[in-house]
Amino acid sequence: MPPLGDLDRPLDSYDRVRYDRQIRIFSEEGQRKLKRAGVLVAGVGGLGSPVLMYLATAGVGHLRFIDHDVVDLSNLNRQVLHWDKDVGERKAVSAVKKLTQLSPRTLLEPTIDTINQGNVLSLVDGMDAVVDAMDNYATRQLLNRACVEKRIPFFHGAVHGLTGQATTIVPGETPCFNCIFPVAPPPETFPVLGSTAGLIGTVQATEVVKYLTGVGELLKGKLLFYDGEQMEFYKIDVKRSPECPVCSKIGPENP
């Protein structure tokens, strides 16, 4: 087996067999793009678990993820990377154990910390995509600002009860997170069904794979809503705010 993290190596027989069904979608070149890609996943909980699992098993070469928390029994209805035996362990450590088994060739870069003003730019630096798997507004705004500054796509997802939402933010092309959600929601311990987090996390992972391989239409300028109680999906258009303090002064990289 080639050295862990050898992201530039060509596909070999292992890759061609393991990823055969998705190579049929986006070709070997698409698979090589995934192998060379780096993705930051912010949060290793209800959203981060399916995002990390599906990006790892899709063959994304480098997964950086951050979470400061420990596994709690109350997490286990939705945070599927963590099991009963992991209660009390750091989520980032628990995730490494599972992801190593799921995708032994993926370079895993865990960080046990909170995301803050002092580390957010270094966390996103060098990444091809950033996934919002957080559960608080302030941290999402920090990530949004960093992604706008570094021109890195930001894949937002959120859940509440049996409902969820997702959008893909491409700085210079789409509204940023602050354009769409300029006002913080009231703090709460919100309800969530595990499968709702699984569904939205899977949408986020799919958007990342589509972006990295160049296949399909992204949720750019669209906010996808999921209503699990009525089993309905719908999208609304979202627009950039000309007064947005985060992104109003930036334009496309290649106008």
- Digit-by-digit pLDDT tens for the chain (255 residues) are 344 446 777 899 999 999 999 999 999 999 999 999 999 999 999 999 999 999 999 999 999 999 999 999 999 999 999 999 999 999 999 999 999 999 999 999 999 999 999 999 999 999 999 999 999 999 999 999 999 999 999 999 999 999 999 999 999 999 999 999 999 888 878 899 999 999 999 999 999 999 999 999 999 999 999 999 999 999 999 999 999 999 988 777 643
**Sign of the Cα pseudo-torsion (174, 176, 181, 182, in order):** negative
- Report the DSSP pairing between strands 38-42 and 107-111: unpaired
pTM here is 0.95
Tell me how far the alpha carbon of residue 122 is from its chain's centroid. Answer: 17
Radius of gyration of the chain (CA): 18
With beta carbons less than 8 A apart as the criterion, state whether 145 and 216 touch. Answer: no
Q: Which domains does the chain have, with CATH numbers?
A: 13-237 (3.40.50.720)
With CA atoms as reference, report the closest residue to 245 among 144, 100, 132, 162: 144
- Report the DSSP pairing between strands 62-66 and 232-237: unpaired
Could you write out the three-class secondary structure of the chain?
CCCCCCCCCCCCHHHHHHCHHHHHHHHHHHHHHHHHCEEEEECCCCCHHHHHHHHHHHCCCEEEEECCCECCHHHCCCCCCCCHHHCCCEHHHHHHHHHHHHCCCCEEEEECCCCCCCCHHHHHCCCCEEEECCCCHHHHHHHHHHHHHHCCCEEEEEEEECEEEEEEECCCCCCCHHHHCCCCCCCCCCCECHHHHHHHHHHHHHHHHHHHHCCCCCCECEEEEEECCCCEEEEEECCCCCCCCCCCCCCCCCC
209 Rama sector, left if φ>0, alpha if ψ -120 to 50, beta otherwise: alpha
Q: What are phi and psi of 127, to 5 degrees?
A: -85, 150
Tell me how far the alpha carbon of residue 93 is from its chain's centroid. Answer: 18
In this prediction, residue 254 carries a pLDDT of: 43
How many angstroms separate the CA atoms of 140 and 246, rounded? 13
In this prediction, residue 90 carries a pLDDT of: 98
- Report the DSSP pairing between strands 62-66 and 38-42: parallel
With CA atoms as reference, report the closest residue to 164 among 194, 197, 132: 197
In this prediction, residue 249 carries a pLDDT of: 81
